[in-house]
Copies of this chain bind each other. A is one copy, B any other.
Amino acid sequence: MPVPDAPVTGAHRETPEPPGGDRPSRLDPAIAARLRRTPDGLVAAVVRQHDSGEVLMVAWMDDEALHRTLTTGRATYWSRSRREYWVKGATSGHHQYVRSVALDCDGDAVLVSVDQVGAACHTGHRTCFFTELPVSSGEVAS
């Protein structure tokens, strides 16, 4: 399976990244102060198509990825597996043009409304959420 999108920093791995919260960032300190991050310094980014509202994918952002998303017009994430920044569509052409970004009430997630070019998922599906799980309501919670 191909790598979904090229990392910003290229194929060669740079020096090991410090833990999430320690990477340098230009994010507005007033916004940074509101974030409540995972142990590896990330917030969840929920991405939806701006007009239809379809939920396309979830990715992860550290402070700098959020800064780049807010200021470049292109959705930018932090890859947990590759430990690199990636701009959605850089390789695939499946760009995400940012229309708006909203922070949630407790600061651990952002909702990114985009204009998605082509498929959001690297599998070729429009959305990454194409695997339905079985739901029942016969069992009582214990």
Q: Which residues of A contact B (CB under 8 A)?
A: 8, 31, 38-40, 42, 44, 46, 48, 52-55, 57-58, 68, 70-74, 76, 80, 87, 98-106, 108-111, 121-123, 125, 128-141
Contacts and interface: CB of A to CB of B under 8 A. Distances in A.
Contact of A111 (B55, B73, B102, B138): B55
A57 B105 CA distance: 9
Contacts of A48: 55
A10 B140 CA distance: 17
Contacts of A57: 104
27 contacts: A39-B39, A44-B44, A44-B46, A44-B58, A46-B46, A46-B58, A53-B55, A58-B108, A68-B141, A71-B137, A71-B138, A72-B137, A72-B140, A76-B141, A100-B132, A101-B132, A101-B133, A102-B132, A102-B133, A103-B133, A104-B131, A105-B121, A105-B122, A105-B125, A105-B131, A110-B129, A110-B133
